[in-house]
Every structure is written in C-alpha cells, then in structure tokens.
Structure 1
Amino acid sequence: MDFTPALTTRLLIVDDDPQIRTMLAEYLATFGMEAQGAEGGAAMRAAMASEQFDLVILDLSLPGENGLTLCREIRDSSNVPVIMLTARAELADRVVGLEVGADDYVTKPFEMRELVARIHTVLRRSRGEARRAAPAATGHETRFGIWRLNTTLRQLVDAEETVVPLSNAEFRLLLTFIENPNRVLDREMLINNARGRDLDVFDRSIDLLVSRLRQKLRDDPRDSALIRTVRGEGYVFTGNVEH
C-alpha cells in the first residue's frame, strides 16, 4: 500500500540540472508532494531561509559547492532529513555521505518509484520520532557528564549552554546509548536503531557514525569517558546517566 501523507509534504530538490528538477517535481506531485527546485548552494540557502521543508533531495555532484559540503551545512543548523543523489556507486561515496549527516542515498540512475519509497521511509521515521518526543512538551532532559540531551528539542547542550547540532542518525544513536548504559551493544543493534531496518547499511557506516558522535561529545577514543569500544563485540556507553 502506498503511503500518502495527511498533510502536504514539502520537498526541496537541489540539483543543477533543470530537467531533473522539473521531472522529479512533476513525478512527486502525483504522490501528493510539493517540490521546489534549487540549482545550487545559494538558491538552497535562500529557499530554506524563507520556507520550511520536510525533506531535502540533494545531488552529490554539484558544481562549485558540492553536495557533501551542503549536506554538512544543513546538518549543522537543522534536523531536516536529507536524501543524497549520487552518480557514483563506490562505497567511499556512500560512507562519506552518511558521515556528513545524510539520512539515505540513491544511486543514479534510479527508478523513480525507488526514490519515492525511500522518501516515505525517511519521513515515516522522522515523523515517528517527533510523535514519540511530543509527550515531553516541557522538554525532558537526560544528563550525563557535562552534557544534557533534550529529547523534545533534540538538542545536545554542554555545561556552557552551547547547543551542539545532531543529525537524525546521531540523535538516534546517542539515545540508544543513554537508554542502555553499561551494556555492550553490537553493531547490528546500533545500525537498526540509528538508521532503521529498511535502509541499505553496512557495518563500516556505524563505526563512522560512532566516530562522528564521539567528536561532538569531545570523547577521545584513546581515553574514552563515554563511548568505549569493545573489540570484536561493539560499543558500551559508560557515562553516568541521570534521567
């Protein structure tokens, strides 16, 4: 059964090819989605400053500022889901895309219906997380070390009240860790919780995601106070969690 959003879904398509932007917008409209096009970074920033979007479709191979740079910029200031389009199928491209905060990727050439399915998957997961956080309207916080994680606002805040942006995958991974302190979590569980069972993921991506989360938590892997590697098994969160 096709997933049809109750409210109009607003998408931003960032691609330098006007034909691709038009083709995608027209096709997505048949599924009840409104799509706006942007040819590059400047147009993307202008669109995101003036409107709110439910999801961004971002081409990797843009002239000038490439998709990786723009994805990192989006993730530094927003939790809007990002699906990357890439004409290259090498593992390294997929790993880097996930590393900078993309929620999923589609390799060109692709079936249009596959892209729609991936959009629906990412939106279901994103909206599901928002619903789960909704009861904590006052802003439930979990504390560990110098950090506070607000699960309503999805914000990580340090002792100096500095907000550290988290991607959707980083937020899910951190939430999994703090909900399972002092327990060894294998890579399969972390992959399923951080990205969802219906995405095409691989073991190496979770290691990169953990590395990125450690950097944001300022947790030195050589002398970790929060996320410790258990060789051959996975990771364990050793922070003192206060709910």
Structure 2
Amino acid sequence: MVTQINLGDIEVDVVLKDIKNIHLSVYPPHGKVRVAAPSRMDLDTIRVFTISKLDWIRKQQKKFRDQERETPREYLERESHFLWGRRYLMRVVEVDEAPRVELEHRTMTLKVRPGTDEEKRQAIVDGWYRGQVKAAAPPLIKKWERRIGVQVERFFVRRMKTRWGSCNPATRCIRFNTDLAKKPKDCLEYLVVHELAHLLEPTHNPRFVALMDRLMPKWRFYREQLNRLPVSHEEWLY
C-alpha cells in the first residue's frame, strides 16, 4: 500500500514494508520521490526523516531536470548506439536470414528480415545487449565472490527502468540491467561488487559504504559514469 505525504511542492510516496531500515530514492526522469520504511514506523517519523533530506532531494531533482536526455532510438541507418562505452553507427541490412547484430570497426550492423518494424528491431537489439551482459558478468562474479567471500546462487539480466542492478540477500540472486552493455565494462564490474556487497550488508548504510570503500576505492567514479548519457537511471543515495 502506498501513502503520500506532502512537503510543500514535493510529493513523497511512502511504502511500508517488512524491512529494518528506511530508504529514500529519487527517480528519473522527473524526480519522483519514494520512501520505503519499516511497517511499524509512523508517518510523523517518516516525515521528519524526509524533511531532513530535503536539500539532497532537491539537488537530485535539479540534476534530473538539467540533464540532457538521449533522443529515442528508431533503429535506423546512421543512428548512434553504444557498446561498452564505445559509440557505433548503425547500419540496417534487410536480408532473408535469422536476425542478428554484428560489429565491424565502428559500425553496428543490424540484420533483419524485410519489413521488420521498429518494435521488432528494438527487441533484436535488446536481446543482443542482454547476451553481452550475460557473457561478461560470470567471470566478474566469480572473481569478486572469491575476494568478498560470498556466493551467488543465480544472476539474471533484464530491462530495468530505474535501477542498474538489484540483490535479494535471502535468495542470493542478483539482477543486472540490460543497458549496462552500453556503459564501460568497469561500470559492470562496479555493479557486480555493489550487488555482491549487499549479500553482506543489505542496505546502503555506513557499513555498506565502508565496505565499498575497502573493496573498490573508485566506486563513486564508476557510479557517476553510470548516471551520465547515453542512458540515465537512478541516482544512488550513497
């Protein structure tokens, strides 16, 4: 159940859940504010907490308003696309063969059957990006499982609107956003470390921040890269 509280010109969605700590998020593109709080926490306490974070909320909302937005992709000739932080120009070839994506130099060739519409072209490219992340993630997971001393049960790759990744400590499953394939590979490694660290500390509390500082001292730099173009997602609280 979602409850709303109003703080002047800011509306806050409040969700009470079976969790131990309160979490505040500001979502792109318009700066929607959401608080997830323990079920037994009263609204007055949540209101006081949110008021204490107003400066941070306004800063994030301004950042989203000021941020340049990527134009919608139509999967046409000479359109810009990215793989692992590198820009490619799309070439569309209609051919009576199985659809696929091929890379050569700075060109991303999308081979589709004649008459393939934009929606289907997007699905083909999204599936290809998903495959890129699914292939790149396992060696990074294995590397950091050893270093952190944790073990992942399963990992998934899918489109996510507001997060680059997520972790369920109870099931030891982690998820990655398909669009990570558009960012430099260092950003994927940062997400692997971020989500595996949640197996030791589920929240973004000071213990989690200290853990990230120890494991990956440059993690803030990689977080900033994730929140730049060509795609823009949630700004983490820490």
TM-score (norm 1): 0.28
Rg bigger for which structure?
A: 2
Of Structure 1 and Structure 2, which has the larger fraction of its residues in strand?
2
Of Structure 1 and Structure 2, which has the larger fraction of its residues in helix?
1
TM-score (norm 2): 0.28
